[in-house]
């Protein structure tokens, strides 16, 4: 009898690739909140965030065998897929309707959590605080390109046009911001 | 495996941060992906990318956490059903999956005429899928829906073989991908047993045109499909309105191809069932339409459940 709860993420993904739905259920239980929260934060619409979340896990079910453990942690892989899909949805929607509001860096802290605090949630909140502190160490111009690029789904060219800055300047800001974030996060003991 | 030019690696490393953030323009993203994955690709840059993605993933977890509704897991497992899988041909994190699923942003600055020609060309690909979707609508069958999803998945994999052409055809690919994405989302809604279906009929001289509105049970998701529409001389867009006494709300724009067919996924800010009518005007009607005579298609919003 397989104790799926005991399995590491990469082992779950391997079992999903073998067609074991119970493994997908456990992976869903572990990550549905992270996936949905990012989609919801970026899309600002519950129904759309639900669609995207469902689409992401369906894709994991269909494509789990393509996961290569040597290409990075499962968690980063899954969040990367989440971000791809959410950006897809944003760009698709942007083609038909204008986005109504910008996401400010402060909004990362202002949106209240709907979850009842648990030990695991408390741990996540601590981790989140560390990430926010790392983000706060960035100069405002670098933080701005991260907000526009990562959380609002703009490409570097679109950011350059939006901020009326040369494309090269935006590329440099993105690169420096990511370097500084990595240093700041590692300094705070996240790896 | 062919040897990797270190100069290419240096150039790519400049782009990996933005790639991990999904912030590269399509052409650059395609170049990075070719370097990372084509012919065995570059393991050194893949390791660098894994590091960039680790940081990006942490950003993604900086947002406040909120649980999805309990019903979502049930919907997901129901959608899986007996869906079989085939061995994938491309890594899940390559652009090809993203492109096939609507991931490539549209090229900017192309003229409407060029865009129209692309739509006409691509409509030959999208229309058969639309026809398949129409069968699904008639049958409203979960089994047929699953077949549609599998077919789309197969198309995704087939498109994976076209990576070298992606750079040249980003705009075309984007349009096709968007069509596939919309049809896939439509199939999810159709698979839901409690959705509502409403018809839109031609108003005035728009004979031969018709529409179908599918609405989720909570009224917060809807799909509008139209057929037999007249393509506009300067634009292919029609505007969608939800109406009730004293108020008309702009719900989005639907693009119509050369055959007069179009589809749009709608996520209204309030329940569709709070309105009495749905209608379409030509795109020129940019503000609130003056009267019902502006409408080219119109349909009554009803809920079968409320009638029972």
pLDDT in tens, A139-191: 999 999 999 999 999 999 999 999 998 999 999 999 999 999 998 887 654 44
What's the confidence (pLDDT) of residue B55?
A: 92
Q: Are residues A108 and A182 in the same domain?
A: yes
Whether residues A184 and A131 share a domain: the answer is yes
Q: Are residues A76 and A153 in the same domain?
A: no
Q: What is the ipTM of this complex?
A: 0.86
Q: Cα–Cα distance between B128 and B135 in angstroms, integer? A: 11
Q: Judge if A34 and A89 occupy the same domain.
A: yes
* Residues of chain A found within 8 Å of residue B73, distances taken between Cβ atoms: 25, 28, 32
The shortest CB-CB distance from A181 to any of B55, B77, B103 is to: B55
Other Cβ atoms less than 10 A from the Cβ of B150: the count is 15
A20 touches chain B (CB under 8 A): no
CATH number assigned to the domain comprising residue A129: 1.10.10.10
Q: Which of A178, A182, A183 to mutate against chain B (most B CBs within 10 Å)?
A: A178
Whether the CB of A50 is below 8 Å from some CB of chain B: the reply is yes
Residues A92 and A52 both lie in one domain: yes
User: A21-43 and A74-94 are packed helices; what angle lies between their axes, rounded to 10 degrees?
Assistant: 50
Which of A62, A77, A101 finishes a domain? A101
| Surface of B (21-40) touching A: CB under 8 A | 21-25
Residues 6 or more apart whose CB falls under 8 angstroms from that of B127 comprise B257, B259, B261
The residues, any chain, with a CB within 8 Å of residue B257's CB and separated by 6 or more, are: B119, B120, B122, B123, B126, B127, B231, B236
Number of domains in chain A: 2
Say whether residue B58 is in contact with chain A using an 8 A CB cutoff: yes
Going through B153-275 in order, the beta strands assigned E by DSSP cover 196-202, 210-215, 222-227, 237-244, 247-255, 262-266
With bands split at pLDDT 50, 70 and 90, how would you rate the model's confidence at B100? very low
Taking residues B110-132, report their average pLDDT: 57
Cβ neighbours of residue B157 closer than 8 Å, sequence gap 6 or more? B86, B88, B89, B90
* Final residue belonging to a domain, choices A101, A116, A138: A101
CA-nearest residue to B96 within chain A is A84
Task: State which of A35-39, B144-148, B231-235 shows the largest mean pLDDT.
Answer: A35-39
More confident residue, A4 or A99: A4
Map out the domains of chain B as residue ranges: 6-60, 75-191, 196-307
Q: DSSP assignment, residue B91?
A: -
Same domain, A61 and A73: yes
Interface contact B64-A92, CB threshold 8 A: no
**CA geometry: angle B38, B41, B45, nearest 5 deg:** 135
Q: Exposure pattern of A25-60 as b/e (b: 16+ CB <10 Å)? A: bbbbebbbbbbbbbbbbbbebbbbbbbbbbbbbbbb
Say yes or no: A12 and A38 in one domain. yes
Of B162, B18, B39, nearest to B95 by C-alpha is: B162
Span A166-180, pLDDT tens digits: 999 999 999 999 999
- Closest residue in A to B184 (Cα) is A55
Q: Do A76 and B50 touch (CB under 8 A)?
A: yes
Give pLDDT, residue A99. Answer: 43
A60 and A44 in a single domain? The answer is yes
Read off the pLDDT band of B307 (50, 70, 90): very low
Domain that holds residue A36: 1-101
Residues of B with Cβ-Cβ distance to A172 under 8 angstroms: none
Q: Say if B114 is an interface residue toward chain A (CB within 8 Å).
A: no
Residue of B91, B55, B18, B24 lying closest to A71 (CA atoms): B91
Contacts of residue B106 in chain A, CB cutoff 8 Å?
A: 91, 95
Residue B66: which region, alpha, beta or left (left: phi > 0; alpha: psi -120 to 50)? Answer: beta
Looking at chain B, which residue has its C-alpha nearest residue A22? B77
Do residue A133 and residue A108 come from a single domain? Answer: yes
DSSP secondary structure of A70-93: GGS-HHHHHHHHHHHHHHHHHHHH
Minimum-distance CB partner of B98 among A46, A65, A88 = A88
Tell whether A90 and A128 lie within a shared domain. no
Domain co-membership, A33 together with A114: no
CATH number of B196-307: 2.60.40
CATH number, domain with residue A44: 1.10.1740.10
């Amino acid at each position: 009898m397989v104790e799926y709860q005991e399995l590491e993420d990469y082992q779950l993904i391997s079992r999903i690739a073998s067609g074991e739905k119970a493994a997908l259920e456990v992976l869903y239980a572990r990550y549905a909140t992270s996936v949905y929260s990012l989609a919801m934060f970026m899309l600002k619409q519950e129904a759309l965030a639900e669609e995207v979340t469902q689409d992401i896990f369906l894709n994991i079910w269909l494509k789990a065998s393509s996961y290569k453990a040597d290409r990075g942690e499962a968690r980063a892989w899954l969040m990367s897929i989440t971000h791809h899909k959410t950006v897809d949805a944003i760009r698709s929607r942007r083609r038909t309707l204008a986005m109504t509001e910008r996401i400010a860096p402060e909004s990362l802290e202002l949106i209240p959590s709907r979850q009842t605090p648990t030990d695991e949630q408390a741990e996540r909140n601590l981790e989140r605080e560390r990430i926010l502190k790392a983000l706060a160490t960035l100069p405002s111009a670098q933080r701005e390109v991260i907000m526009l690029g990562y959380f609002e789904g703009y490409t570097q060219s679109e950011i350059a046009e939006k901020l009326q800055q040369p494309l090269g300047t935006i590329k440099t800001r993105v690169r420096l911001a990511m370097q500084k974030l990595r240093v700041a996060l590692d300094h705070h003991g996240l790896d | 495996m062919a040897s990797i030019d270190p100069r290419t690696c240096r150039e790519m490393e400049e782009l990996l941060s933005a790639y991990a953030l999904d912030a590269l323009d399509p052409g650059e993203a395609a170049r990075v992906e070719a370097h990372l994955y084509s012919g065995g690709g570059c393991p050194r840059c893949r390791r660098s990318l894994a590091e960039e993605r680790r940081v990006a993933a942490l950003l993604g977890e900086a947002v406040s956490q909120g649980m999805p509704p309990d019903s979502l897991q049930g919907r997901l497992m129901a959608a899986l059903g007996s869906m079989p899988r085939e061995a994938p041909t491309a890594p899940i994190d390559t652009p090809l999956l993203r492109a096939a699923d609507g991931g490539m942003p549209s090229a900017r600055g192309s003229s409407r005429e060029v865009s129209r020609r692309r739509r006409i060309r691509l409509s030959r690909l999208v229309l058969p899928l639309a026809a398949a979707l129409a069968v699904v609508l008639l049958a409203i069958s979960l089994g047929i829906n699953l077949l549609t999803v599998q077919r789309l998945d197969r198309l995704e994999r087939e498109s994976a073989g076209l990576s070298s052409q992606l750079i040249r055809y980003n705009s075309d690919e984007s349009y096709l991908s968007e069509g596939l994405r919309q049809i896939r989302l439509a199939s999810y809604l159709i698979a839901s047993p409690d959705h509502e279906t409403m018809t839109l009929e031609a108003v005035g001289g728009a004979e031969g045109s018709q529409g179908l509105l599918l609405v989720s049970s909570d009224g917060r998701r809807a799909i509008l499909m139209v057929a037999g529409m007249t393509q506009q001389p300067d634009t292919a867009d029609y505007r969608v309105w939800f109406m009730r006494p004293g108020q008309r709300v702009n719900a989005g724009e639907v693009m119509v191809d050369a055959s007069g067919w179009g589809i749009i996924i709608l996520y209204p800010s309030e329940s569709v069932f709070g309105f009495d009518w749905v209608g379409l005007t030509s795109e020129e009607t940019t503000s609130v339409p003056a009267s019902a005579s502006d409408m080219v298609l119109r349909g009554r919003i009803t809920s079968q459940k409320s009638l029972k």
